[in-house]
Chain A
């Protein structure tokens, strides 16, 4: 019983930051129709930026609680700087091109950002320790958890509900939904597609960086973290169905639980449990769990 609970809670913790990252990925896909490999790099840059800003705050002798503000600040900074720059200078040139070609564009971007972050932050690992102890330890029955890990679950819930509310209950959200559904018709109704693309991409970058910033205290921030994240978050959105928020949540939970099951029961399978689940889902639901079938007009 304890084992099952452990697996579930571990799975939920893993799923939570993954969901934040995947949410950005699925949003960018929904609006811009780009499956963004560089999303993993935004995650990594978010983590690095968090390390820098938390370090800066610590050097200025700010109270430890401010380190949480530092994490958020890092994500915002990355989004505001990286998002518009890339969208305006690069992605804009490729809109409407073949999906696979767009994947390659972002693959090129991923390669570039890998080295750029090495140039900025070097190759030695960073540890962001300050925020991790803020919430103490929490006991759930006989199990003990670091409070920070559980706080991440709350952050993920806030992100999910926030994005859902923003999309479905606000005018801006309706505009974005219209663009997701059919950007040509949206444009003909007077919506400024360019702005929506820019906004959605920047927000997607923000979510990736936020995921990176909030996981930074849980990991050692070093080159290579982007690769692992991108593959796993791809698995999440593919399992859930591209462009679906609910799908991203379910996909993250499935991946999280699959991984923690493997870790606790069959550690050797940790590495590929995620791919196995993704392959299994795709075999039975070729377009993911929550993808609507699109009828072709002939």
Chain B
């Protein structure tokens, strides 16, 4: 528990620092950070899946489901609180994940990637043709309130920034705890050798489905956060290039460390907004080169720069050393 407690304190401190710093940041940067945090939450989900050895090329699916459900709840059903909207979006995506997860759990590598891609594009096709939700134009979402406080023109940037930072921090902490748990270790084992895991007597498919549902819940939360801050949603939330960006982010971050995904997300947002402004015709080129460099020189992502792999706790490591000494003397005899 002590490692988790340590992380909780560390993340809380980082959050407080971030919220204080936010008071002094310009509007455009606050918005950029808000988007980076919201998209980073989706990337967290991909990291959970990548630890189990699969990459979804259709995370736009749950991103859009979370976004549309939050948007519809706000416009049609009069839900006004931002936190409730995020919870609704996340829950709806998790339910979708619970339906698709068990089916997708049989698939690996390319087939998993393609099937998730297909599902997200089917949703895209449906959304584009659904005039009830605005077709390809989407619809605007009114500004919600936050825990009883109303959000207006002047404080909205900071309010959304605070909301997404707090939610992103809490979710990152939960994902970190999950990654350290026995289920988290099982995911790594599955990625390495699922045949053996099955022979150990536990269900690989169930583990994969659970990872998918967790990723869906995270994707839905990210979608809802994005919609709330943007005030608009359209079918592009489910388009494959959007999913590609999430994969890009997850690869950049690597699965060694959950917080790394926010660094990757921020980097992506920075590259996107700067190149949109200064070199609109070559920003994909810059992105592509960047991705290639990462794959070539940091194949385990930026997280691998600081995250140390989990090892035996100190006491156990000590016992292992003594046991090794005993083994050595036995062998010598």
Binding site for B on A (CB under 8 A): 35, 90, 93-94, 98-101, 103-105, 107-112, 114-116, 118-119, 123, 227, 231, 234-235, 238, 242, 268-269, 271-272, 275-276, 278-279, 282-283, 286-287, 296, 298
CA distance A242 to B119 in the complex (A): 19
Query: Which residues of the partner chain B approach A287 to less than 8 Å between Cβ atoms?
Result: 111
How long is the Cα–Cα vector from A107 to B247 in the complex, in angstroms? 10
- In the complex, the answer to whether A99 meets B110 with C-beta atoms within 8 Å is yes
In the complex, which residue of chain A has the Cβ closest to the Cβ of B281?
A118
CB–CB B289/A112 < 8 A:
yes
Give 1 or 0 for each of B112-150: 1 = CB within 8 Å of chain A CB: 011101110110111011000000000000000000000
Separation of A54 and B170 alpha carbons in the complex (Å):
59
Question: B202: which A residues are within 8 A, CB to CB?
Answer: none
Pick from B109, B129, B289: contact of A99, CB below 8 A.
B109
**Is A93 a contact of B110 with CB atoms below 8 Å?**
no
Q: Are B115 and A279 in contact (CB under 8 A)?
A: yes
- How far does the alpha carbon of A35 sit from the alpha carbon of B129 in the complex, in Å? 30
Q: With A268-B129, A298-B195 in contact, do A100 and B109 touch (Cβ < 8 Å)? A: yes
26 pairs, CB–CB < 8 Å, chain A vs chain B: A100-B113, A101-B299, A104-B248, A104-B251, A107-B244, A107-B248, A107-B291, A108-B289, A109-B288, A111-B287, A111-B291, A112-B289, A115-B281, A115-B283, A115-B284, A119-B281, A119-B282, A231-B117, A231-B121, A231-B240, A234-B117, A238-B111, A278-B115, A282-B107, A282-B118, A287-B111
B residues touching A (Cβ–Cβ < 8 Å)?
A: 54-55, 57, 103, 106-107, 109-111, 113-115, 117-119, 121-122, 124-126, 128-129, 195, 240-241, 244, 247-248, 251, 281-285, 287-289, 291-292, 295-296, 299
In the complex, the answer to whether A269 meets B114 with C-beta atoms within 8 Å is no
B107, B111, B114, B251 pick with most chain A CB within 10 angstroms: B114
Q: A99-B110, A275-B125, A282-B107 are in contact. Are A235 and B118 (CB under 8 A)?
A: yes
Is the beta-carbon distance between B110 and A272 smaller than 8 angstroms? Answer: no
**Most chain B beta-carbon contacts within 10 A, residue among A107, A119, A276, A286:** A107
Tell me, rounded to whole Å, the shortest Cβ–Cβ distance linking A229 to chain B: 13
Question: Contact: B111 with A108, CB < 8 Å?
Answer: no
- Determine the residue in chain B with the shortest Cβ distance to A37: B244
A272 touches B111 (CB 8 A): no
A contact residues around B284 at 8 Å (CB): 111-112, 114-115
CA A231 to CA B120, docked complex, whole Å: 12
Q: Which residues on the B side are within 8 Å of A268 (C-beta)?
A: 129
Q: Which residues of A contact B282 (CB under 8 A)?
A: 115, 119
Give me the 5 closest cross-chain CB pairs, A-B, nearest first: A272-B125, A111-B288, A112-B288, A115-B285, A108-B291
Chain B residues with CB under 8 A of A107: 244, 247-248, 288, 291
Q: Which residues of A contact B119 (CB under 8 A)?
A: 275, 279
Question: How many angstroms from the CA of A271 to the CA of B121 in the assembled complex?
Answer: 9
Q: A101-B295, A279-B122 are in contact. Are A116 and B103 (CB under 8 A)?
A: no
